[in-house]
Chains A and B, each alone.
Chain A
Amino acid sequence: MNSKKTAKSFKMIILSFIAATQIFPLYWLITFSLKSNAEIFGENVIGLPKAWRFVNYSTALTDGGILRYFLNSVFYSAATVAVVAIITAMAAYAIARMKWKLKAAAFGIFSIGIMIPSQAALLPLFQTMDKLGLKGGYLGLLIPYIAFGIPMSVMILTGFYKGIPKEMEEAAYMDGCGIFRCFLAIMLPMVKPAVATASIFTFLGTWNELMFANTLVDSADYRTLPVGIMSFAGQYSTDWGLIGAGMVIATLPTILIYFLLSNQVQESLVAGAVKG
């Protein structure tokens, strides 16, 4: 019995140690974002701030231009999530339920998409957006984000539709319900959890994306947070508190969404990966 207890506490020590390594860098980031350089660089490296410098945040938001980047990122992410959710909910329904010869081929094309590293499309996208006159504006980045968000979402939703029994739909069609109404009123409410799951993936991918944002946008007016913070960190390289504040601002939305929806995130991951 005693050895069982030792094993148990040993387990807890290991689990807690790894939890500490996973969370400590984030703790450090948050504390130094509220400190002065004097504290960060010697007086108080890992403790809580002695004087809480919220001014780091207001300076980053206004002088550093982070507010603009933040709003841009919100726009890109929200628009991508909305468009991807709508068009993939429809496409996945067509693949899972409708009767057509090429649906296996269409599904195959989407599933290749998951394997494709985004850098392989970067240069042609850069040229296409340039030719269309969209490069450097909102659409020039938004369209690639939507396109690359599609395959994962189609996969998750198709799997989910297939698990839904057909009786409800059949009854609705019998009653003379049209396809669009049936889709909107019966199918969409049933796949809501899967749409939420897929949307979380889309959101994280878009919000955190760096390479496309760095290449397809040059003006600060359309810049996203990751690129904005990178140039900001170069500009104020010696002011760690200020950089830290910018990084916390960039991280806060994803952490908040994760904590609010962590059950959904975890269930969805299970659904996506275990089936795939």
Chain B
Amino acid sequence: MDKMLGKKSYIAVFVLPALLIFVSFVMIPLLISGTYSLFEYDGIGKMRFLGLQNYIDMFTTDRYFPKAVVNSIVLVVASLFIQLPVSLVLALVLAHGVKGEKFFRTVYFVPVVISSMVIGQLWMKIFHSEYGLLNILISAITGSTFDYSWLSNSKTAFLSTVIPAVWQYIGYHMLIFYAGIKSISTEYYEAAQIDGATKWQTNMKITLPLLTPVIKTCVIFSITGSLRAFDLIYVMTGGGPNHASEVPATLMYNNLFRRGLYGYGSAQAFFIVIECLLFTFIISRIFRKSEENASAI
């Protein structure tokens, strides 16, 4: 058997199709992007080596990029401090058994399976100045016509895209937390019950510490998902009005495909990659300690 499982030709047949496609159409393009990011290049003419100048320009001469980075950080913060806590509380409540547990679990997850394009179009209509649900609701409560234009006002445009972004993935994180809680051995809870622990104590002292690896996963997903956000913003505002709701991904897309700035746009794309890897690394470091503590239980 070992002979068969060690035979090179068999291994090649099994692993190469996936590996070759993945390397050729994901990894190599990624490396090409990284290379472009060091050049001035319009896709047709000569490439001129710039070193890290593109990366410096993003933060010094680009009028929109720093604001776009701030916007993406706002999205990260909203995900971490609104989306995840709500998801976690829902998961805790559901996992400890309530009536309709399965119903709620299923309903919360529904927005996750819907395309961001549909979610974006739908929320554009919710925020519509004349006929949108939100303004109709406000008008009904206040008794006077309210026709504020949420998406075409630079003060509220970005915030109006954050709301559906946070809303859409609550069910996703809830389900991951839920699964994590369910996989904790019931022995711990039985022991806690014998010791007379309250529900709150059980949650704080047993569930949360044992859930640390799952929380880490959700925090990483939440941060990297926010940093690379594109679809919802592209659909709802296109980065406007007057670039108020840009994020790095929408600027990158514009620079690459509208303005033909292949070098500069690639630097912005690569900036997102670096951000994602960096945050993943930092979060894993932060959590390493609490994971060690958790395993001591």
Q: Is A235 interfacial (CB 8 A cutoff)? A: no
A179 touching B5, Cβ below 8 Å: yes
Stretch at the interface among A13-21, A57-65, A190-198: A13-21
Q: Is B67 interfacial (CB 8 A cutoff)? A: no
Q: Is B157 interfacial (CB 8 A cutoff)? A: no
Q: Which residues of A contact B235 (CB under 8 A)?
A: 210, 230
Q: Which residues of A contact B270 (CB under 8 A)?
A: 120
Q: Is A51 interfacial (CB 8 A cutoff)? A: no
Q: Is B150 interfacial (CB 8 A cutoff)? A: no
B17 touching A98, Cβ below 8 Å: no
B107 touching A128, Cβ below 8 Å: no
Q: Is A88 interfacial (CB 8 A cutoff)? A: yes
Max chain B Cβ within 10 angstroms of own Cβ: one of A19, A26, A28, A204: A19
The listed residue (A45, A88, A125) touching B18 by CB distance below 8 A is A88
A169 touching B104, Cβ below 8 Å: no
B14 touching A45, Cβ below 8 Å: no
What is the interface of chain B mostly: helix, strand, loop, or mixed? helix
- Size category, A interface: 35 or more
Q: Is B22 interfacial (CB 8 A cutoff)? A: yes
B107 touching A19, Cβ below 8 Å: yes
The listed residue (A26, A106, A154, A233) touching B110 by CB distance below 8 A is A26
| With A100-B11, A115-B224 as contacts: A109 and B117 at CB distance below 8 Å | no
CB neighbors of B among A42-90 (8 A): 42, 45-46, 87-88, 90
Q: Which residues of A contact B25 (CB under 8 A)?
A: 121, 125, 128, 143-144, 146-148
Least Cβ–Cβ distance between A3 and chain B, in angstroms: 13
Q: Is B129 interfacial (CB 8 A cutoff)? A: no
Q: Is B90 interfacial (CB 8 A cutoff)? A: yes
| With A120-B30, A124-B29 as contacts: A40 and B214 at CB distance below 8 Å | no
Q: Which residues of B contact A178 (CB under 8 A)?
A: 4
Least Cβ–Cβ distance between B118 and chain A, in angstroms: 5
Q: Is B276 interfacial (CB 8 A cutoff)? A: yes
Q: Is A251 interfacial (CB 8 A cutoff)? A: yes
The listed residue (B28, B121, B171) touching A229 by CB distance below 8 A is B121
Q: Is B65 interfacial (CB 8 A cutoff)? A: no
Q: Is A188 interfacial (CB 8 A cutoff)? A: no
B114 touching A208, Cβ below 8 Å: yes
> How many Å lie between the Cα of A109 and that of B26 in the bound state?
10
Q: Which residue of B lies closest to A229 (CB)?
A: B117
Q: Which residues of B contact A208 (CB under 8 A)?
A: 114-117
**New A-B contacts (19) at CB < 8 Å, excluding given A98-B14, A225-B115, A273-B218:** A11-B93, A18-B86, A19-B107, A19-B108, A22-B110, A25-B122, A26-B122, A28-B126, A32-B125, A42-B131, A124-B29, A146-B21, A208-B117, A229-B121, A243-B121, A265-B109, A273-B217, A274-B180, A274-B214
Show the binding face of B for A, using Cβ within 8 Å. 1-2, 4-8, 10-11, 13-15, 17-19, 21-30, 32-33, 36, 43, 86, 90, 93-94, 98-100, 103-111, 113-118, 121-123, 125-126, 130-131, 133, 136, 167, 170-172, 175-176, 178-180, 182-183, 213-214, 217-218, 221, 224, 227-228, 230-231, 234-235, 249, 252-253, 256-257, 262, 265-266, 269-270, 272-273, 276-277, 280
Q: List 15 A-B contacts (CB under 8 A).
A: A19-B108, A26-B110, A90-B17, A123-B265, A124-B30, A143-B21, A144-B25, A210-B116, A210-B117, A229-B118, A243-B121, A255-B113, A258-B110, A270-B178, A274-B213
